[in-house]
Structure 1
């Protein structure tokens, strides 16, 4: 398989987080969690720390409960700040400036706003006002690859022009705090973060930028309620729900999706040199690794991102992708697989080649 000059290539990546982070032990102390089952969730998560923007303390010294309006405003305020850092870091690596951008795609599932982040970032960062834009909202942790499919299609149709994709997830602006296991699962896992990539097609792009060759997708309707972000009447706000069976559902279907991705390419699983997988949680990563026959080395960046950031939703796989680029081990001709999973339940994959 050879790449063509009209293939869209991922030319750079950058990430951004809030300025504050907390270890799992610090969070348990901060919220005075004594329930041994909940403590176990936090301390056996393979997560050491997460970047979060927590509400100010109430009279009892714990972070106070915020209204849905306050949470939404934090989603926007923190989201723009993280996205600004991610975009600036990405453009610096690409050797580009905001004036070079012609298409903006923003992805988020931790709040709902109109106009979306794409319009807000164009205004905030001074991106050309004539840039085309797209907002992908509410698709969840898998959404980065859904959006990348649209971004690469635009890029292929506009050779030589730069597209910017930004995943913006202020997960702490969607937390609900109580003593239930439903909220504990979420509160033990998710972190805040933004990740940006630039995409270009044409013959003038960097030689070592991976070309995006193919996408494949699978939705598992019988598990449609396994991952949700919906209205919680008890708390009067939106909140996440994760079914404990999610890791096994994802793992059981991963091999079939990979087989379809490689079908017709002449490639086998053993030909894939690099794996970039969404850091959905320890059990999710372990299930995918076992079902795809991967080594711990194959998932080293995924597990490192989980350890250092938690699950940053749609942008998590780009945090791992950034680490792969920084490692600088990919050689011309190498193939890689990008994989995300999320509500639906959905598995998304993309095949790339350096």
Structure 2
């Protein structure tokens, strides 16, 4: 029984701003801070390797003192819009009807919705009443691949079925106006809002890269390194400066045994579909692959064009790869990291 990814699609929010435009807003945000600190903050934004960030709200609104309730209301309203649009984009690519879906997974960590997004999409798009729902929260940047893994396992157990994985993230709704800590500043510099969807199938006649294997890698005693703290003003970013070093120290154990399990080496992999966590993490990964004849150019380009959109971002990289129509037999490895601290991996073959 093979499970394949049939289509990947994206949808961006209506608002966006270049780094130069954001820096003008940073000036207002930093009013009253020491000049040396302001220069340091601007360098972080300028050096983030992100040219443009998209947002569910006007950039000026993101730099306004709104309550957790107000920002979460915006998140909920816009998440439904983005989810509906991106699911339709993916269905159009695959030439599927909404009623053909058997399983819907929605992933997000940047807001709170109960009922979850999938319930709204069922009503908005008239999905089947017997569709199986699974909302995935609290897995951060790793959740896009996590959703693919859960869909794969469902489809493997159910031949002739179809699934949608929809990632909608709005880090702008978690920005803390009164927090001048490095985690809040760095997250504001590297993150952007966006949504993505991929469609999977266990129909024999549906065509796309097959999921050969998947596996999680958990870092022991590292739960403090990444996540959100729920405060009265909203979701406050937790981001340890040692994250890139932690990834580097475990990277060989993350990649090579996973490939060896499938009788492969890194030389056998044609496409590296890595989550663009940030400039430092990308640099770390590039250095580890130096001399192996591999590149993560698509990962770098996604970061440059959109920033880190949490769980949705790796699906943007996947879309770029799939749109090139890789040759039959080519292989790809998807990889993302998230709170826990953990890594999620998927091996694909076209």
Query: Could you say whether these structures have the same fold, taking a TM-score greater than 0.5 normalized by the shorter chain as the test?
Result: yes
In the alignment, the residues of structure 1 paired with residue 122 and residue 288 of structure 2 have an alpha-carbon distance, to the nearest angstrom, of 42
* DSSP-derived class of the 1:46 partner: coil
Q: CA deviation at 1:295?
A: 6.7
The residue that corresponds to 1:278 in the other structure is: 275
Q: If the length of structure 2 is used for normalisation, what is the TM-score?
A: 0.93
The residue that corresponds to 2:105 in the other structure is: 105
Gaps of 5+ in 1: 1-5
- Which is worse superposed, 76-85 or 289-298? 289-298
Count of aligned pairs between the two proteins: 341
* DSSP-derived class of the 1:263 partner: helix
In the alignment, the residues of structure 2 paired with residue 172 and residue 296 of structure 1 have an alpha-carbon distance, to the nearest angstrom, of 37
The residue that corresponds to 1:347 in the other structure is: 343
The residue that corresponds to 1:41 in the other structure is: 44
* DSSP-derived class of the 1:222 partner: coil
Q: Does 1:221 align with 2:216?
A: no
* DSSP-derived class of the 1:141 partner: helix
Gaps of 5+ in 2: none
Contact 1:55 1:63 in 2 (8 A): no
* DSSP-derived class of the 1:91 partner: helix
Contact 1:75 1:111 in 2 (8 A): yes
* DSSP-derived class of the 1:25 partner: helix
Alignment of 1:68-79 (within 5 A): 68-79=68-79
* DSSP-derived class of the 1:331 partner: coil
Q: CA deviation at 1:294?
A: 7.0
In the alignment, the residues of structure 1 paired with residue 136 and residue 99 of structure 2 have an alpha-carbon distance, to the nearest angstrom, of 23
In the alignment, the residues of structure 2 paired with residue 40 and residue 297 of structure 1 have an alpha-carbon distance, to the nearest angstrom, of 30
The residue that corresponds to 1:3 in the other structure is: none
Q: Does 1:332 align with 2:328?
A: yes
Q: Does 1:186 align with 2:187?
A: yes
In the alignment, the residues of structure 1 paired with residue 210 and residue 284 of structure 2 have an alpha-carbon distance, to the nearest angstrom, of 28
Q: CA deviation at 1:249?
A: 0.9
* RMSD, aligned CA: 1.8
The residue that corresponds to 1:245 in the other structure is: 242
Q: Which structure: greater helix fraction?
A: 2
Q: If the length of structure 1 is used for normalisation, what is the TM-score?
A: 0.92
Q: CA deviation at 1:202?
A: 3.1
Contact 1:216 1:257 in 2 (8 A): no
